[in-house]
Amino acid sequence: MQLKFNNRFVNELPADPNIAKTRRQINHACYSFVDPVKTQKPALVSASSEAATLIDLNKEDCNSDAFLNAFSGNQRLDGMQPHAMCYGGHQFGNWAGQLGDGRAIVLGEVLNQQAEHWTLQLKGAGPTPYSRTADGLAVLRSSVREYLCSEAMHHLGVPTTRALSLITTGDQVMRDMLYDGNAEYEPGAVVCRMAPSFIRFGSFQIFASRNEIDELRSLTEFTIKHHYPSLLEDHELGSADCVTAFFNEVCKATVTMVVEWARVGFVHGVMNTDNMSIHGLTIDYGPYGWLDNYDPEWTPNTTDASQRRYRFGQQANIALWNCYQLANALYPLIEATEPLEEALKQFQSNFADQWQAMMASKLGLKDVLETDGKLFEQLESLLTSAETDMTRFYRALASENLSYEHFVERDVYYDDNHNQEFHDQLNNWLTAYQTRLEQQDLSCEQRISAMNAVNPKYVFRNYLAQLAIDKSEAGDHSMVNELLDVFRNPYMEQIEFEHYAAKRPDWARTKVGCSMLSCSS
Ligand code: AMP
Ligand code: MG
């Protein structure tokens, strides 16, 4: 197994001169060198062949000892320069100071045959100077969730970091899953993630908060030069308008990401600014969840249960709030508020446009008319009031038959006891929808295939994750690999896997891991 590394982040940005693992505040540095801990008995649970292809590895490579040793952290390959990144962040709306990679270790940047750079990062590979009071490890439960969801999101077409491998370490890790004093040992695991970079909003915030403007400038110029190079066609690197243009691009990418989350019913759960990628990629899969019954108020994260700051319907507002924090961090390089305010205004109009276009596509509409807003709003309220399974509903709507009986037959409701008022509202909506469809020149078959290309049949429902985890913890990893396979084609009918498109079963409604998750991972 041969990988070519070109570690631009390490080569071009300031390092922490101290190589001790002691937990501490690290000033004037973008990262600290740190080696992964050795694992006792690593075993491969799964590797993503699509992710592997991005770094020119084939299936045989993925099954080799060299792969297992490299991506469990046991063996450093030539060219790897393991390091943990320094960043800060706002957690649940409050500035938390230095956070950093507490249990993530970047191995380096692979340069592939297409001349693309892919940063490889192990999650759960042991303590770093940023581990604060925690152990730097990850358990199998949360690693299965991160691994499968990253790849599922990719195949759904949602911007995301990727997952190359899921490896059990053979070590036991102590976790108090519900933070209720009942700590237990769980199997440890390491996921290897991939992304163009793991630079976050918080990477800029930490320097601004410490008034380390030279480092802020270096990181910003580095990010633009390597990750937004097209900006240099019209702007001089480091100029105020270049930084403004960069901020604009990040806002745009962030809008696209949250609109895509809304399209597929994904709730991130912890949209802290340290979990916001500078590329607009979904990053840091923690207590995330997928909507079963459509409910804008829902959050899977028990740590956020009272405030519901990161609920489904709030994600765009939070993304905007996070962009405000990034604007504050970049301000010293621009020294004018107006261009930043303009970009933030643009965020809002961009979001409104993209959200409408996304809703139109889900309904099989070729474009958005002014009156469509009402159609979208009424549908949301119908879906919410009748406990409707979001994913199943949109697949059922892609049909010639647009009647209540059809939706019942397609098993889209969690409770079939509907009153007259609901029937009237649904019928009114279906009539309005039908009328709207007649205004466009699209055959029924064309509409159905367009809708089935944007409304997935298979999403990573919370209860599916829990079933796969239960089996994996018992030593049977077949469901992880089977789900990975199903999620490769989320928009296709897969008759033999019909059961993975079923509504959430009753037992999962309030079960831990299915509808409720804590940050413990
Ligand atoms: P998260 O909520 O997963 O984004 O984590 C917030 C911060 O806590 C990040 O700086 C993580 O690196 C750190 N962290 C989370 N879990 C652990 C752990 N088990 N050991 C060390 N640091 C952790
Ligand atoms: Mg994080």
Instruction: Reply yes or no on whether the pLDDT at 482 is more than 90.
Output: yes
What pLDDT is attached to residue 82?
Answer: 98
pTM: 0.98
In a domain, residue 450? The reply is: no
Is the Cβ–Cβ distance between 5 and 79 less than 8 Å? Answer: yes
Asked if residue 286 has its Cβ within 6 Å of ligand 1, the reply is: yes
* Residue 448 resides in a domain: no
Q: Tell me whether residue 453 is in a domain.
A: no
Q: Which of 228, 247, 91, 257 is nearest to 159 (CA)?
A: 257
342 and 221 in one domain? Answer: yes
Query: At 190, phi and psi to the nearest 5?
Result: -130, 130
Task: Say if residue 166 is in the same domain as residue 34.
Answer: yes
Q: Can you give the pLDDT at residue 180? A: 87
pLDDT at residue 515 tops 80: no
User: Looking at the structure, do residues 73 and 146 belong to the same domain, yes or no?
Assistant: yes
Measured between alpha carbons, how far is 6 from 249 in angstroms, rounded to an integer? 25
Distances from the Cα of 466 to the Cα of 282, 448, 461, angstroms: 21, 32, 9
**Beta-strand runs (E) in 48-129:** 83-85, 88-91, 94-98, 104-111, 117-123
Active site residues: 274
Same domain flag for 57 and 140: yes
Confidence of residue 489 (pLDDT cuts 50, 70, 90): very high
Which residues sit opposite 118 in a β-bridge?
110
* Residue 380 sits in the same domain as residue 422: yes
Say whether both 500 and 409 belong to one domain: no
- State which of 99, 133, 517 you would mutate to test the pocket of ligand 1, scoring each by most atoms of that ligand within 8 A of its C-beta: 99
115, 257: one domain: no
Residue 350 lies in a domain: yes
Residues 331 and 373 in one domain: no
Tell me, yes or no, whether 149 lies in a domain.
yes
Q: Are 129 and 38 in the same domain?
A: yes
Would you say residue 245 has pLDDT above 90? Answer: yes
Amino acid at 424: D
Distances in Å between the alpha carbon of 419 and those of 25, 422, 424? 60, 5, 9
Q: Confidence band (pLDDT; 50, 70, 90) for 177?
A: confident
DSSP state of 505: P
Query: Domain total for the chain?
Result: 4
Nearest atom in ligand 1 to the alpha carbon of residue 87 is 10
Among candidates 496, 406, 490, which has minimal Cα distance to 455?
490
* Domain enclosing residue 225, as ranges: 202-360
Banded pLDDT at 521 (limits 50, 70, 90):
confident
CA–centroid distance, residue 469 to ligand 1 (Å): 21
Residue 137 CB less than 6 A away from ligand 1: yes
Q: Is 101 in the pocket of ligand 1 (CB under 6 A)?
A: yes
167 and 285 together in one domain: no
- The two tokens of residue 415 are 């409770």
Section 412-422 average pLDDT: 94
* CA 186 remoteness from chain centre: 24
Produce one character per residue of 316-352: b if its CB has 16 or more CB atoms within 10 Å, e if not: bebbbbbbebbbebbbbbbeeeebbeebbeebeebbe
Mean local confidence (pLDDT), 330-356: 98
Domain identity same for 45 and 109: yes
For residue 518, pLDDT over 90 is answered with no
Compute φ and ψ for 184, nearest 5 degrees.
-140, 160
CA distance 160 to 144: 16
Residue 521 lies in a domain: no
